[in-house]
C-alpha cells in the first residue's frame, strides 16, 4: 500500500546545485559564502536587522537565553503545550520553567495565565508560536514591558507567520527559528537567532563560535560553544529561501482544502489569533474525544497514512511532573489533537484518501 508521510522536505530546485558548489570549492564546514547569504536573506525575509545561523533550533534557544543573562534563580514562563526543546533550553541555563496554560481556540499560550504566574523571580516569557499560528505577542509584549521582563519568541514552527503585518520573531527582545527536515524550509538540521540589537547579535556570534575573540587568533575569552551552521546546510537553506513564498502559498492552499473537505465533520481546527496570517506548518485537528483521536489515528495508520499526536504538555513529563498545577486546556488539546500530513506538495489523490477516511469515521458521543 502507498504510504503517506506526515511531512516530506522538498529539495527539488537549486539545493543540489548549491551543495555541489560547496563541495567543489571545498568550503563545507562553518565558513563559506552561503553562511552570510542565508543569514542576510533570512533577516530580510522576517524584517529583522540581525540573524545569526546556528546548527539547530534547540541551541538557538540556548543562546537566546544566555545572551539575555538568564540563569540560576530565574524563572521563565513558557507554555506547557510545546515541543520539549522550548522547556529544556530553560533548564540548560539553570533557570526554572514555569508552565502556563493555553487558549482553547488558538491553542497558543494564554496571556492572562502568564500574568498570573509572574513572581519576583520571573525574568522572561518564552512565547511559542504553535503549529504555524501566532501567539498574542501584542498582549505579551505589553505585559513584559509592564513587568520589566524579557520576551523570547520561539518561531520554530512559524516561518512565514505574520501578526498585524509583521513577521513573528520581531516583537520580542530575541527570537529563534528551526530548519529541521520537517520545517517549512529546511537545512536538514539548523536554526537561526534573530534580534533587533546589534550587541545581542554580536554576543550570539561570539558564543556560537567557541568564544573566539575578535582581535587575537585562537584566543578564547569566554566559555563558548560549537553551535555553528555548516556552509552546506546554509547552501540548502539559501535555495529553500529563494522559493519560500511559493511554499507558503501551497501550504495555505492545502490547509484551506482540508478545512473545506472536513467542514461537515465534528472535528475542530486551530483558530487564528486576531490579526494573524498563519503559515500552516502543521494542519492539526481536534477530535471530539480522546478515544476518537486514538481510534482515528489507528484507522489512518491501517490505510498507510502517518499522523502525529499533538505535543504532550511538558508539565506531564517525568522530569517536569512534580510541583506543577493541572493545566486543563493544554491537557485537553494534547489528548484530542492530531497532526495530519502537511507537506506542501501532498498529491491530490493522497489528500482525497485522507479526508475520505476522516469523513467515514464513526464518531463517539463526547
The SS3 assignment for 353 reads helix
Q: Judge whether 197 and 173 are in contact, CB under 8 Å.
A: yes
86-110 pLDDT, tens digit each: 999 999 999 999 999 999 999 999 9
**CA-CA distance, 325 to 169, in Å (whole number)?**
29
- 15-100+107-241 CATH: 3.40.640.10
Question: How many CB atoms within 10 Å of residue 261?
Answer: 16
Q: In what order do the strands lie in the sheet with 122-128?
A: 50-54, 191-195, 174-178, 150-154, 122-128, 75-79, 96-100
> For 173-186, what is each residue's pLDDT tens digit?
999 999 999 999 99
Averaged pLDDT, 251-260: 98
Cα distance between residue 154 and residue 173, in whole Å: 11
pLDDT value of position 358: 98
Q: Which CATH number fits domain 244-359: 3.90.1150.10, 3.40.50.1000, 3.10.129.10, 3.40.50.720?
A: 3.90.1150.10
Tens digits of residue pLDDT in 225-254? 999 999 999 999 999 999 999 999 999 999
Tell me the pLDDT tens digit for each residue of 19-73. 999 999 999 999 999 999 999 999 999 999 999 999 999 999 999 999 999 999 9
Residues 53 and 36 sit within 8 Å (Cβ to Cβ): no
Topology match between the domains 15-100+107-241 and 244-359: no
Work out the average pLDDT over 311-325.
Answer: 91
The full set of domain ranges for the chain reads 15-100+107-241, 244-359
Q: Give the pLDDT of residue 366.
A: 58
With 0-12 / 13-18 / 19 or more C-beta atoms within 10 angstroms meaning exposed / middle / buried, residue 260 is exposed
- The per-residue pLDDT for 18 is 98
| pLDDT for the residue numbered 1 | 61
Q: What is the pLDDT of residue 348?
A: 97
In which band, very low, low, confident or very high, does the pLDDT at 260 lie, cut at 50, 70 and 90? very high
Question: Which range scores top for mean pLDDT: 22-31, 185-194, 356-365?
Answer: 185-194
What pLDDT score does 325 carry?
83
- Whether 201 and 195 have beta carbons less than 8 Å apart is answered as yes
Amino acid at each position: 500500500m502507498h504510504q503517506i508521510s506526515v511531512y516530506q522536505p522538498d529539495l527539488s530546485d537549486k539545493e543540489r546545485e548549491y551543495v555541489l558548489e560547496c563541495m567543489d570549492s571545498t568550503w563545507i564546514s562553518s565558513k563559506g559564502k552561503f553562511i552570510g547569504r542565508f543569514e542576510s536573506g533570512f533577516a530580510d525575509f522576517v524584517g529583522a536587522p540581525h540573524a545569526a545561523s546556528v546548527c539547530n533550533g534547540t541551541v538557538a534557544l540556548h543562546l537566546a537565553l544566555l545572551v539575555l543573562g538568564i540563569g540560576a534563580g530565574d524563572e521563565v514562563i513558557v507554555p506547557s503545550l510545546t515541543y520539549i526543546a522550548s522547556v529544556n533550553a530553560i533548564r540548560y541555563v539553570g533557570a526554572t520553567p514555569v508552565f502556563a496554560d493555553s487558549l482553547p481556540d488558538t491553542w497558543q499560550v494564554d496571556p492572562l495565565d502568564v500574568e498570573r504566574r509572574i513572581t519576583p523571580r520571573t525574568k522572561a516569557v518564552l512565547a511559542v508560536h504553535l503549529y504555524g499560528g501566532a501567539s498574542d505577542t501584542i498582549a505579551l509584549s505589553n505585559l513584559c514591558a509592564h513587568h520589566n521582563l524579557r520576551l523570547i519568541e520561539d518561531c520554530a514552527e512559524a516561518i512565514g507567520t505574520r501578526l498585524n503585518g509583521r513577521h513573528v520573531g520581531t516583537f520580542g527582545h530575541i527570537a529563534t527559528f528551526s530548519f529541521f527536515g520537517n520545517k517549512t524550509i529546511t537545512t536538514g538540521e539548523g536554526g537561526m537567532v534573530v534580534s533587533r540589537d546589534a550587541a545581542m547579535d554580536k554576543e550570539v556570534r561570539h558564543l556560537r563560535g567557541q568564544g573566539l575573540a575578535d582581535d587575537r587568533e585562537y584566543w578564547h575569552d569566554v566559555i563558548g560553544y560549537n553551535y555553528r551552521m555548516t556552509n552546506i546546510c546554509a547552501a540548502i537553506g539559501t535555495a529553500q529561501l529563494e522559493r519560500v513564498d511559493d511554499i507558503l502559498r501551497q501550504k495555505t492552499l492545502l490547509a484551506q482544502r482540508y478545512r473545506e473537505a472536513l467542514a461537515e465533520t465534528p472535528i475542530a481546527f486551530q483558530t487564528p489569533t486576531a490579526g494573524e496570517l498563519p503559515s500552516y506548518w502543521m494542519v492539526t485537528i481536534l477530535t471530539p474525544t480522546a478515544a476518537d483521536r486514538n481510534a482515528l489515528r489507528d484507522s489512518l495508520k491501517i490505510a498507510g497514512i502517518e499522523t502525529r499526536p499533538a505535543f504532550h504538555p511538558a508539565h506531564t513529563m517525568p522530569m517536569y511532573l512534580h510541583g506543577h498545577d493541572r493545566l486543563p486546556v493544554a491537557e485537553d488539546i494534547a489528548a484530542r489533537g492530531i497532526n495530519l500530513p502537511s507537506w506542501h506538495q501532498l498529491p491530490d489523490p493522497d489528500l482525497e484518501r485522507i479526508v475520505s477516511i476522516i469523513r467515514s469515521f464513526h464518531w463517539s458521543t463526547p
